[in-house]
Copies of this chain bind each other. A is one copy, B any other.
Amino acid sequence: MRLNVDAASVVRCRELAAAIVAPVQAFIAQHSTVSVERTVLRLLGVDGITPQEIPLPNAVVDALSPQDRARGVAPAFGRALAETGLEPQALVESLAAEGYDLSRFANAPEAAARGALEPYVRRGLDSIVAQREERDARLARLPQLPPPLLYVIVASGNIYEDRTAAVAAAQAGAQVIAVIRSTGQSLLDFVPYGPTTEGFGGTYATQANFAIVRAALDDASERLGRYVMLTNYASGLCMPEIAAMAALERLDMLLNDSMYGILFRDINMKRTFVDQHFSRMLNAYSGIIINTGEDNYLTTADAVDQAPAVLASQFINEEFAHRAGLPDDQIGLGDAYEIDPDQQDSLLFQIAQAQLAREIFPQAALKYMPPTKHMTGDIFKGHLVDALFNLTSVVTGQTIHLCGMPTEAIHTPFLGDRALSLENARYVMNAARHLGDEIAPRPGGTIERRAQTVLASCESLLERVASLGLMHAIEEAVFADVSRAPESGRGLDGVFARAPGYWNPFADALTPAQAESRR
């Protein structure tokens, strides 16, 4: 299958995306956030919580004086290490009495501080590399089935039920398991700690929970002879921290969108831009595939109208991702099958949109989301809509395929629902495995014309954003009809300008060039 899309227009869209991102990137380079700094501590080996259940990284960063914070937590922490000779975790624990205040370690010269930090920085980076290599080794030994990679969610709220569900799903054919986050976790300015058994619409993303499911899936992978991937959500107020935890626990994918938090969770845009960059540098380095959230445009507004916005967002997400050093095959750009199923020729429109993304982003790990908004309590009809979604995915060669649930409109998936959903995907994709190689859309036909219209409207949308500037464009509600102001939204107080002498050893190590050389 091959559409004839206007290559010049595609080039133009990429140029526009670059122009749109450049100024934001400049802003990012001059700023940091509390969550970035907490991530530095986590990578240095700081973990655990205070008696008041405050995560230690939060405790330390919150205790920093504005001046210290402006230079990043690293210098101050380095001095403390140098003066105490303790290792990071021990050091932080020893500070409990003083409220985790690092200010009294003021003497050690910068060189000593850097020197004291160095081994732990290397340890942090090495453990990420170790997990990346572990993944590569397992994938080589336990190859996955060909894409579309079948992806299902577990969301019981209890990590142990999730573990059961995850293993069962893997045995039923799932190749990627997502543990859906307890709702609104994206709004918490800290990452909960330890295994959790109470969640709402999902299960908390904690490092312990990551480890529990990872271990169960590694075990299942061995039995199945194919590597089963694990994924979770980064987007939110703790993007970089979750990226770090995911790297350490060998998650394979992360929901990580450069604008989702802004538009759909009213998180401050500056906070989000700075956080997404550092989190994506970590994703890049740890070999984690990011998944972007364009599907959210389609669930909240008409899917036919929103197609150009989805494409525009994909171009912007791609540009931000490249700036963070992510190679194309780690960029899972999002899209979804959300056109009203009762619209005549809806299948043609869906194929046009999916194929357009495939051709514009040939190397990307496209993430294709299932029909949700138009699903109803009629599970029989819903199963059919999912079938045409599965067909579209295999015909257009999508990479990551979120399996739709017949019970989408009713409840978070039952164990049996996932089995039916996977049966659906396996049957349809096998029966139509090579249909995509077999058929060519008629030149000038409905499919081709639709693809051309979407691309053209996307280009003018990007023109508009470029002329307004991204931050202002968001304020003008260019995306998802939502308006967010640069100074509004959650987490702004956690954003700060980098003072002279600001130092983030991991950011330095992971700047695309650097990271490349370390690979």
Contacts and interface: CB of A to CB of B under 8 A. Distances in A.
Interface of A: 341-348, 378, 380-381, 383-385, 387-388, 391, 406, 420, 423-424, 427-428, 430-435, 437-442, 445-447
A220 B341 CA distance: 28
B380 A428 contact: no
A424 B388 CA distance: 11
A380 B434 contact: no
B433 A384 contact: no
B439 A385 contact: no
A384 B424 contact: yes
B423 A380 contact: yes
Contact of A438 (B342, B427, B445): B445
A457 to B, nearest CB: 21
A347 B431 contact: yes
A435 B406 CA distance: 25
Contacts of A348: 432, 434-435, 438
Contacts of A346: 430-431
18 contacts: A345-B431, A345-B434, A348-B434, A348-B435, A378-B423, A380-B383, A380-B423, A384-B384, A384-B387, A384-B424, A384-B428, A387-B387, A387-B388, A388-B391, A388-B431, A434-B446, A438-B446, A440-B440
Given A388-B428, A438-B447, A433 B381 contact: no
A434 B345 CA distance: 6
Contacts of A391: 388, 391
B435 A347 contact: yes
A381 to B, nearest CB: 6
A427 B380 contact: no
A428 B343 CA distance: 11
A441 B432 CA distance: 13
A343 B434 CA distance: 12
B344 A433 contact: yes
Given A383-B380, A383-B383, A387-B384, A438 B442 contact: yes
B442 A381 contact: no
Contact of A385 (B378, B388, B427, B442): B427
A346 B434 CA distance: 10
A383 B388 CA distance: 12
Contacts of A342: 427, 430-431
A437 B447 CA distance: 11
Nearest to A390: B384
Contacts of A437: 442, 445
A430 B345 CA distance: 6
Contacts of A381: 423, 427
A420 B384 CA distance: 11
B431 A344 contact: yes
Nearest to A349: B431
A338 to B, nearest CB: 13
A440 B437 CA distance: 11
Contacts of A445: 437-438
A431 B424 CA distance: 18
Contacts of A428: 384, 388
Nearest to A442: B438
A431 B341 contact: yes
Contacts of A378: 423
